[in-house]
Homo-oligomer: A and B are copies of this chain.
Amino acid sequence: MSALSDPFDGLWPSVEPELPEQALTAIAGRAQESDRAGVPARESLDLLRSLDWPGRPVPEKFHGGGAGLVRCCAMQRALGAADPALAVALNMHLFSVGLMVEHWRRRTDTSWLLMEAIATQNRLLASAFAEPNLGGSTTRSLLRAKEVDGGWRVSGTKRPCSLAAEADLVCLQLQAEARPGAAEDVLVALLPTTAPGMRVVRDWDAMGMRGSGSDTLVLEDCLIPDELVFHRAPAGSEDDDVFAAGTIWFALTATACYLGLAQAALRHAGDLLGRLRIAHLDSPRAGLPSYQAAVGDHVAALLTLEAACADTARRMESGAAPERLVDTALAVKQRALRVVPDAVGALAEACGGAAYSRSGPLERLWRDAQAIRFHPPTPVATRQYLARRALGLPAGLDLDESAPGLAGRAPGAADGRR
């Protein structure tokens, strides 16, 4: 058992065909500068376009790469190891295209036209789902769209929206103004980023994932033509195999980005620990039992998480019903939330001050790793969902709770702050 292979090898298929080592090295080489500048590395995006990356998940019959969920996860993991901010930004594209494929498989319609355009023209997609005060809900919007002749008119703010300024198209959710007596519907539409009334505010300036370009999209009296609304469902509704499939795609590809990040952290920390000597013990830190004891359980947690992510992706790709897999996919993401930041933090701690310095890549990976806590669905909502599922209760991804004792107080008291 002592051969010096990498314990993480073999968990995923090789992505050499799609993302050659040389391309990944080039992308990795730009990650630090992108972090400093706080904008995506445009050359890396161009490189990926030149490698036909945007169409990878599109079925081959529509001139795409035909990559299923397993291969898409493997690609995101490789990209996450090279430049996590770029991988996370692109994850919205990948997930949205994956969702189109799932949609097309289940409700065969004209959505293939769009996929074909993406594949043949290497179009990049941004997803504008997040909004302030949504609480991470993925089936609602606070933007109210007013029905007008030929479409919908809407104003409001979407934030954060990765690659808002770099993408060709944007996928967004709106809530249709309810007609009297009717429930509200959520609309999902796809617009070119050049649509009138839509503009990007370059205001992304975060602790980490600084190169993800997660800026703000402002809609001012923006018209959305009916023919660009491709999905409509009651607000808050999650009872849908396409919704389940989308949740799985997002949870697993997002997790894969951070698994790649963890690989990069492990590699850099391994280098440091192998070089940093403790003089009075005449040994590098890596060779000492106490440092090994500080690292081992994190390796166990990462390997377990990788295997679980891969397993769920494989089952999805083999045709398991999404409704049966969505719980495990969310569980994998929820665990990743603890496992990845904890592992990166422990590795940094073992390396000592060198890991804290901006002269090496570990501190950037450390900052980037924290972003996993913020992707929807939120950790508190996922926790409640999984508990209810395991306890045999009805469950949804929107938080369902109140505190009567606080809410019952005089107006303003619900906020209750000193």
**A binding-site residues for B, Cβ under 8 Å:** 1-11, 130, 133-137, 140, 142, 160, 205-208, 236, 238-239, 243-244, 247, 266, 270-271, 273-281, 283-297, 299-312, 314-315, 320, 323-328, 330-332, 334-335, 338, 341, 345, 348-350, 352-353, 356-359, 363, 366-367, 370-371, 373-374, 378-407, 409, 413-418
Nearest Cβ in chain B — how far from A93, in angstroms?
A: 20
Nearest Cβ in chain B — how far from A91, in angstroms?
A: 16
Please determine whether B367 and A207 come into contact, CB atoms closer than 8 angstroms.
Answer: yes
Complex: chain B residue closest to A394, CB-CB: B2
Please determine whether B401 and A243 come into contact, CB atoms closer than 8 angstroms.
Answer: no
How many angstroms from the CA of A379 to the CA of B291 in the assembled complex?
A: 10
Complex: chain B residue closest to A322, CB-CB: B1
Take A292-B384, A307-B308 as given contacts and tell me if A239 and B2 are in contact as well, using a CB distance cutoff of 8 Å.
yes
> Can you list 8 A-B contacts with CB-CB less than 8 angstroms, sorted by A residue number?
A1-B323, A7-B328, A266-B390, A283-B402, A283-B414, A297-B383, A300-B330, A300-B335
Take A7-B328, A293-B387, A392-B274 as given contacts and tell me if A356 and B380 are in contact as well, using a CB distance cutoff of 8 Å.
no
By a CB distance below 8 angstroms, the chain B residues around A325 are 10
Please determine whether B384 and A356 come into contact, CB atoms closer than 8 angstroms.
Answer: no
By a CB distance below 8 angstroms, the chain B residues around A356 are 206-208, 370-371, 374
Please determine whether A289 and B293 come into contact, CB atoms closer than 8 angstroms.
Answer: yes
Sample of 20 more A-B contacts, CB < 8 Å, known A133-B277, A160-B353, A304-B332: A1-B396, A2-B396, A6-B392, A10-B320, A135-B285, A137-B280, A270-B417, A286-B393, A293-B380, A293-B387, A294-B387, A296-B382, A296-B384, A296-B387, A300-B334, A305-B308, A308-B308, A350-B380, A392-B418, A400-B406
Number of copies of this protein chain within its complex: 4
Please determine whether B320 and A289 come into contact, CB atoms closer than 8 angstroms.
Answer: no
Complex: chain B residue closest to A359, CB-CB: B205
How many angstroms from the CA of A381 to the CA of B384 in the assembled complex?
A: 17
How many angstroms from the CA of A294 to the CA of B380 in the assembled complex?
A: 8
How many angstroms from the CA of A258 to the CA of B367 in the assembled complex?
A: 19
Complex: chain B residue closest to A378, CB-CB: B352
Which of A3, A289, A349 lies at the interface centre, i.e. has the most chain B CB atoms within 10 A of its CB?
A289
Complex: chain B residue closest to A341, CB-CB: B345
